[in-house]
Amino acid sequence: MQIGVETAKAVDNKRLFVVANDDVTRMALQFMLHDENETHDLPTLEAAFDKCVEWKPDLLLLGIDVVAERGVEVLPLIRSRLTDAKLLLVAETREDPLVATCQGAGIDGLLVKPLTVEETRRRVDGLLGRKRAPIQIHAL
């Protein structure tokens, strides 16, 4: 099912990797983004690193749970392995102290739950340098 897909974006072929320990978050993000992007739901950073050997991502959506598990030191590791990819952190709340630490460590953006299609696509498009066209509503 496609939800409000702009044709130009559907053929733009931006590659996204979604990595989070939480399966539901990963699958939700993959569902929200797959219509307009080549979106890969990956359970671990190692899987992302393996996949990037042949397929370089434009954007990595990273669950804060991965940073909590592996430490903030994982962010420079990601930067060294996914050199051209933007990094969008996905967090439960903006007030989480780990969010501020990650912002200080140089993430490119923050996506806060609850996740919505519109906000998720807006954040992703912004980091990919795209402008979103306003949604046209026509009276019947």
- Closest by CA to 64, choosing from 13, 103, 20, is 20
For the stretch 36-51, pLDDT in tens is 999 999 999 999 999 9
pTM score? 0.86
For the stretch 98-122, pLDDT in tens is 999 999 998 999 999 999 999 999 9
User: Residue 79: which domain range?
Assistant: 16-127
Q: Does residue 9 lie within any of the structural domains?
A: no
Q: Does residue 50 lie within any of the structural domains?
A: yes
Length of the chain: 140
Q: Does residue 55 lie within any of the structural domains?
A: yes
Q: In CATH, what number is assigned to the domain containing residue 24?
A: 3.40.50.2300
Residue 132 DSSP label: P
Report how far residue 3's alpha carbon sits from residue 15's, in angstroms, rounded to the nearest whole number: 18
